[in-house]
Structure 1
Amino acid sequence: MITFYHSPQSRSSRILSLLEELGNPPEIVLVEVEIPRVMKGTGRRDPGNPHPEGKVPYLEHDGVGIWETSAIALYLTGLFPQSGLGVAQGDPMRGRFLSWMFWYSGVVEPVVIAHLCDLSHPALHASLRGMPEVEARLEAALAEGPWLMGDRFTTCDLMVHSPYVWAPHLTPESPAIRDWVERCRMRPAAVRARERDAAAMARLAA
């Protein structure tokens, strides 16, 4: 049994979008939980959420917990290879696929958070780089194809474009990046996920 613990309009919304891309496999059960929403001062830690810090997303497969969004995204992509969202082990492009996924979690998210918090330090920049470097990497990749892996949408695109949907003002003026973000954002699976989240938030507010 696979259980996905989700809170609407949160970081786990990316995994909800991924489930839509996968065709909502019937063996995955979605459980909505509350989370503390620190910036809004709302929400709470849900006792029904097994995440060790009360966060989302959290995935449980036959009693084994998986946490961290990128890890869950990679796990599900590998579990459902027929989706074509990943790159199989042994394929020479697998290394590029993994590099984009780990670059997102190891560089992009920390850089975005530091930027939004107006944090600046030479050690941070030397270790993680900054928003201009992130944008340059994206422009270079998109000059080679419409998607980060070339001619097809993958989980890399789903993950890496997500900060620009969460914080649209961060999207640079680059036409290539803006077009890519919009194409990712308007995929039918992404639209359905946003609609599901909006409905869930409406229920919570009722």
Structure 2
Amino acid sequence: MNQLLQVSHLFRLLSKLILVGIIASVSLLTACNEKYAPMETVKQVELDRYLGKWYQVAFIPNSFQSMCIADTQAEYQLDDKDVRVINRCRTKDGGIEQANGIAKLVENSNNTKLRVSFFRPFYGNYWVLDLDPNYQWVLVGEPSRKYGWILSRTPQLDSAIQQSILKKAETLGYQRSQFQVSAQSNPLK
């Protein structure tokens, strides 16, 4: 009798897990089919010039960066055909949080569109929307306009340049008020 109860409990648990999986799959497929206003990227990104360390100087707050209070940076390294992504930031308790991911170049995008994952098999869009000709700053976003970042090769970015980038973001359908300045007080080594 005890084994029958265990099997019954296991069956109910398995049924719930399958249902959650179906709901998650349908949600992901629905999200993939959402239509957004067109968004232009830059014409081309020279990947070897883009690689290296970038500092986050402004961003649209999001749940996956909620533990970060300062000194957020991203580093991109070539890893065969893909790009290794290493994001780091300072947390409230003074510790350092690190997330390792992978970015795959979108075919026929001239390296302007990538699909990034920190939680495989889930990937998100990473589009290069505006880029300094000398690769000193970049505006990154994605078609839903829920996420966006301004990155710089230095911890601080000239205010006039940052305002110009925010103006460009507005022309692409973002609202300037969505972006929050990132604290860069003690860059991570």
Q: TM-score range by the shorter chain?
A: under 0.3
More helix by share: 1
Structure with bigger gyration radius = 2
Question: TM-score of the superposition, structure 1-length normalised?
Answer: 0.25
